[in-house]
Structure 1
Amino acid sequence: MIPAIVLAGSRPGPDPLLTGRGISTKALLPIAGHAMLVHVVRALRASPLVGPITILAQSSAELAAEPELAGFADVHFADSGQGISSSLAAALPAGDDPLLVTTADHVLLTPTMVAEFLTGAADSDVAVAMVERAVLLARYPESKRTWLKFRGGWWSGANMFYLRGRRVMPLLDFWGRIERDRKKGLKIVAAFGPWLLSGALLRLFTIQQGVARAGLRFGLKARIVPMSEAEACIDADKPSDIELIERIFAARRQAAIGQPL
């Protein structure tokens, strides 16, 4: 089984999702009757592929006090560093053991998604889950995402990452310098060099080819794992996301009890 990290910290500045809610951190924002973080931990704990779960946040004690998290086995809490990259660097296992990373706002996560991602990532050093635009829009045309445009498709991140031990440290150090631009697709691409930026702008290669070449810069085997479920890239970033996620959860509940949608 693979250990998992859930990034549950808060970004600098006010979060419009929390305005007037009386909640200090996004991870505890209720969706479909449960805190975001509870949905994520529940999905991970239900996966036979996932081992111990560590929740990272600036003030992890606040999350540890959430009553619904008390019933899960092998769940731990730790205070994070100043950024995602430094927090992950501190949490990496020794040697080449792999680590699964996801986020507290990935509330639609399921064990099936976890299995699909880990199967696709198994022989890589670094892997990133992504959803192609046609997959998302076929189900949820109203959903607005940030897209990376390459030959053969437009892609959006699905908040799952596979890191193989300490060998990924140079990549995390690099990410620490650019993570503030994580929502600006072209800035992220450009940070890897002019060859990747020009190739993306001119659609000279697929995203799989681009990520593989970017990984080689750090001596890593890197890959994209295309996710087959549109819900894999719908996270809770803005009010419209919350509304859509609530509808998806309602549909899941109806399907589970055999009622027509």
Structure 2
Amino acid sequence: MTDQRYTALVLAATRGNRDPLAEAGGVSHKAFIDIAGQPMLRRVVASVLDSGRVGRVIVQIEPGSTEEAKAILAPLGADGRIIFAPSADSIGASVARAAEAFPEALPMIITTGDNALHTGDLVRYFCDALDKVEEDAALGLTAASTVLAEYPEGNRAFHRFRDGGYSSCNLYALLTPRAVEAARIFNSGGQFGKKPKRLIGAFGLFAFLVYKTRLTRLRTFLKFLSRAIGVKTAPVVIPFAVGPIDVDRMVDWELANRIVGERETRKAA
């Protein structure tokens, strides 16, 4: 196995003061909702640790939720490898804060507290691919054909290009100090697939128009964006259908419970 060398940043903060999923789950925080018998945050952190490619995990969450998060993650038995840090007002600001507070953390992978379906194998695949990346940053995506072949009910937002559709796995990597500068593109909240007009604010009108024409291939478009922000970014296509299915809505929560429940039933058989 390749030596562990990545730090994982788990972005677990909520958006706003009221979260319908947290209320429906009877918990104080969206990341604490139950997924097939375990809190979602525990499943996310476990997937990162189970990859065998991560030496340390930084969990960014609101200060008022830190103690509860510590209790939720305690059963993983990885206290010395898990660090808690306060989140900022936006995704971009949170990433920048983490990079500043932990300058030795690069190279860093970034995941989110609602990636309940990610597994150690999926995270390992991403990290193994990163070993060969020469760019400053990378993002994980799964082809639409892969997702829809297994989960047509997943209702993902796809980026459409000449070589097909892709959906973000909410899995990113900052590989060089220059990559930290790219975090600013998430200050508007990211989720460019669900709200592609955010590309205008992040990259400019021309980038948005190129995106909408669907005349370029994925890698070509990323090269264009890389020039726009001055940070070379590589795509990592992840062949796991569950990769882009995060838990943002009730329908996602129901789907995640079913998938994880079936997965664990097969494992126990």
Question: When the two structures are superposed, what TM-score results if normalisation uses the length of structure 1?
Answer: 0.90
Which of these residues, 7, 12, 17, is aligned with residue 16 of structure 2? 12
Count of aligned residue pairs for this structure pair: 257
**Cα RMSD (Å):** 2.1
- The alpha carbon displacement at 1:94 in A equals 2.8
Residue 189 of structure 2 is matched in structure 1 by 179
- Equivalent residues in 2 for 1:150-229 (5 A)? 150-176=161-187, 178-179=188-189, 182=192, 184-191=194-201, 192-229=203-240
Q: Which residue is 2:107 aligned to?
A: 98
Shift of 1:10: 0.9
The verdict on how the C-alpha distance between 1:161 and 1:186 changes in structure 2, with shifts beyond 3 A counting, is: same
* C-alpha displacement of 1:107: 1.0
- Three-state SS of the structure 2 residue aligned to 1:231 is coil
Unaligned runs of 5+ in 1: none
Q: SS in structure 1 opposite 2:166?
A: strand
Is 1:86 the counterpart of 2:93? The answer is yes
Q: Structure 2 matches for 1:24-103, cutoff 5 A?
A: 24-59=28-63, 60-66=66-72, 68-69=74-75, 71-73=77-79, 74-92=81-99, 93-94=102-103, 97-103=106-112
Measured after TM superposition, the shift of residue 168 of structure 1 is 2.2
**Alignment counterpart, residue 251 of structure 2, candidates 240, 243, 248:** 240
1:115-141, CA deviations, whole angstroms, 9 ceiling, x for partnerless residues? 221233332211111112111110011
- TM-score for both structures, normalised by structure 2: 0.88
Helix, strand or coil at the partner of 2:229: coil
Indicate the percent of aligned positions where both proteins have the same amino acid. Answer: 29
**AA aligned opposite 1:179:** G
Structure 1 residues 90, 194: closer, same or farther in 2, change over 3 A?
Answer: same
- Given the superposition, is the C-alpha separation of residues 218 and 202 from structure 1 closer, same or farther in structure 2, using an over 3 Å criterion? closer
* Aligned counterparts of 1:71 and 1:18: Cα–Cα separation in 2: 25
